[in-house]
Structure 1
Amino acid sequence: MTVPDELAGQRIDNFLQARLKGVPRSRVYRILRKGEVRVNKGRVKAEYRLQAGDLVRVPPIRVSEEPPPAVAGEQLRRTLEEAILYDKGGLLVVNKPAGLAVHGGSGVRLGLIEALRQMYPESPFLELVHRLDRDTSGAILVARKRAVLLHVQSTLRAGKMAKSYLALATGKWPRAQKLVEAPLRKNTLKSGERMVVVDGEGKPSTTRFQVEERFSGATLMRAEPVTGRTHQIRVHAQFVGCPLAGDAKYTPDAVNASFREVGLKRLFLHSAAVGCTLPDGTRVHVEAPLPSELVAVLDRLR
């Protein structure tokens, strides 16, 4: 295998594990240690970082048989083609539809990233920069180059990546509540369902909130997560006493039922805008329009 430019800098052990599906990690390290893997005809250690154009020779190795991967149907492909908001400089921004997981696993055979890899077979590198909950719609970043992935993720960890969400909070949001700082901890119930709770021993978590529009019994909010914890906006809204409309995990069923009467059939949380800087200094700012079904709910509330 010849290493493409997009994979330059990746460790050889990670490169092999991505291509030898079902092969135990111990086996991958054994063939490296015994010198059965050659790069440019020479032995390398597991920590060797590949260069563009390197020729990697892998010995014959048995891989476990897995069921064939799920194939993205024509309707999903068309939906995602229309959802591409930005495609330059090794970065994709996709307006993810609600209900689509970002990746397969835990009962999900096909997620956004698997579908995109099928749509872009010529791209040897496609990785999620960050994640969105399955029920959340909106802008999500996908890297088409390893250098872009590492650069943008470093800005994300430093809190320099702009992310803005539109959320419909139930009830009357307190005017003075513009910043929520409440530590969050993941909690798995006996049923196996993963919940997140505010807990003094959890990870520090901060979200900025701004009122966009008030309705009878609801408030449209703009939420900007400073940290990036699982379910952060949803749990912080619940903590304030105004859980999000349509949230099956954190909002009482009776409250959600009242919003179903105005046509809300999903979680009202949308990644409305993302912004970052590419390795060459290019500044990227992309906005994702609110889905029509959420626009219709706001119209009915008005």
Structure 2
Amino acid sequence: MRSVHAREMDGCGVLGRVWGGWRWGLRVCAAPKDAGFVTRARHQLQPRSSSKRLGPLEDQPFLGLLQPKKLSREELVEVLRAAVVDQKGPLVTLNKPQGLPVTGKPEELTLLSVLPELSQCLGLGKQELQVVRAPGKETSGLVLLSSCPQTTSRLQKFFTHSRRAQRPTATYCAVTDGIPAISEGKIQAALKLEHTDAVNLVVPVKNPSRKDILEGVKKTLSHFRVVVTSSGCALVQLQPVTVFPSQLQVHMVLQLCPVLGDHTYAARVGTVLGQRFLLPAESTKPQKQVLAEALLSRLRLTPAQAAQLPLHLHLHRLLLPGTRPRDTPVELLAPLPPYFSRTLQCLGLHQQ
């Protein structure tokens, strides 16, 4: 297996590669055979410690966070050019900042809207880039672009075949508010999209009927592994097998451990006398995530800052097919955003 590493972004060190299992910090967990892992590798997720690079933690809670509404088209193109992980032939891979939508309204500044300028900037001429795979607006991480329709088709067939064979091709990092009851396993749930109060929300469906499936309910599956825990939080590795909007966020809510910075679905987790429980999804409206005072103290955030906390969900790793059918997969890696690394430092979610 060949690995391609992202360039350093905003002082966050490139992820190291070694072999023989997944390594986060210094803790090694063997990949279970039934988890659908295509390859085994271990990666150092922690940036090299440097207070000079990060600055005082309390002064820079959201270091490196992108604000697309404040950028011009030219500035966004430059940000994306600097975020390129790899460019070979028609394929371009970049490390998308959190908060950047992939698509949107015609007047909105999105990844899709600036692809013509990015194609020119990368020297592709008239070969305009198309999006092959990308995480949602609130998720950071790897985006796969192609300037060749045949290459795009080949990659899409690879991803489709992998899903049908239940072989995950994407690995996400997440920080959760709460610790899952078990250290690793599968999360299965039937989900549907509901249009409520002018927004689309994902709602779980218990015991879906055949009619439900025909009307848009989808059975979803994700693998998860708790990498390290501290301060009532966890660093979790997530590998979705199926594809559905907000799948990973909703799956972690069903584990009573919402992703940190989830201001849409975290409100579905209630607490009474220290015990967590699920509130009815249909009647629970989205609201800013409420964090315990002890957690706010560890994060060195005020309640007002916590209300702006970005979603801590990052597409860290993608597998692509080799040039020939029997070639080993190509592995693309991207470093964590600086604010994500800061959170890990504040919570003590590092080598043990």
TM-score (norm 2): 0.61
The CA deviation at 1:255 is 2.9
Partner of 1:194: 200
Please report the RMSD computed on the Cα atoms of aligned residues, expressed in angstroms.
Answer: 2.2
1:170 matched to 2:185? The reply is: no
Deviation of the 1:74 alpha carbon: 3.6
Superposition map of 1:271-290 within 5 A: 271-277=315-321, 280-281=324-325, 283-290=329-336
TM superposition shift of 1:250: 0.6
Matches of 1:203 and 1:227, distance apart in 2: 9
Structure 1 254/126 Cα, relative in aligned 2: closer, same or farther at 3 Å? closer
Note the residue ranges of structure 1 that are not aligned, 5 or more in a row: 1-70
Task: Measure, in 2, the Cα distance between the counterparts of 1:101 and 1:108.
Answer: 13
Q: Compared with structure 1, are the counterparts of its residues 226 and 161 closer, same or farther at alpha carbon in structure 2 (3 Å cutoff)?
A: closer
Distance 1:93 1:161 in 2: 19
The answer to whether the 8 Å contact 1:152/1:278 transfers is no
Secondary structure of residue in 2 paired with 1:120:
helix
| Partner residue, 1:114 | 113
The whole-number CA distance in structure 2 between the counterparts of 1:237 and 1:108 is 34
Q: Distance in 1 between matches of 2:141 and 2:94?
A: 7
CA contact (8 A) 2:168 2:240 kept: no
SS in structure 1 of the partner of residue 128 of structure 2: coil
Deviations 1:9-42 (A, max 9, x none): xxxxxxxxxxxxxxxxxxxxxxxxxxxxxxxxxx
Q: 2:345 aligns with which of 282, 293, 299?
A: 299
SS at match of 1:236: helix
Per the alignment, do residues 285 and 98 of structure 1 end up closer, same or farther by CA in structure 2, a change over 3 Å counting?
same
Give, in whole Å, the separation in 2 of the partners of 1:151 and 1:142. 13
Give the Cα separation in 2 of the matches to 1:205 and 1:109: 31
1:180 counterpart SS class: strand
Q: Partner of 1:156 in structure 2?
A: 159
Could you say what secondary structure the match of 1:228 adopts?
Answer: coil
- 1:25-40 → structure 2 map (5 Å cutoff): none
Contact 1:208 1:226 in 2 (8 A): yes
Identity %: 26
User: Size of the alignment, in residue pairs?
Assistant: 230
Residue 291 of structure 1 deviates from its aligned partner by 0.7
CA deviations on 1:168-196 (whole Å, 9 max, x unpaired) are 1111211255100111111110x111110
The one of 235, 238, 258 equivalent to 2:250 is 235
Q: Determine helix, strand or coil for the equivalent of 1:175.
A: coil
Query: What is the match of residue 236 of structure 2?
Result: 221
TM-score (norm. length: structure 1): 0.70
Kindly indicate whether the alpha-carbon contact (under 8 Å) linking 2:183 and 2:225 is maintained by their aligned counterparts in 1. no
Does structure 1 retain, via aligned residues, the 8 Å contact 2:119–2:128? no
1:124-163 to structure 2, matched below 5 A, reads 124-158=127-161, 159=163, 160=167, 162-163=169-170
Segment of structure 1 superposing worse, 266-275 or 153-162: 153-162
Assess if the C-alpha contact under 8 Å between 2:99 and 2:139 holds in 1.
yes
User: 1:167 offset after TM fit, Å?
Assistant: 0.6
In the alignment, the residues of structure 2 paired with residue 170 and residue 187 of structure 1 have an alpha-carbon distance, to the nearest angstrom, of 25
Q: Partners of 2:92 and 2:221 in 1: how far apart?
A: 27
Q: Which residue of 2 aligns with 1:100?
A: 100
Structure 2 gaps, min length 5: 1-70, 209-216, 268-287
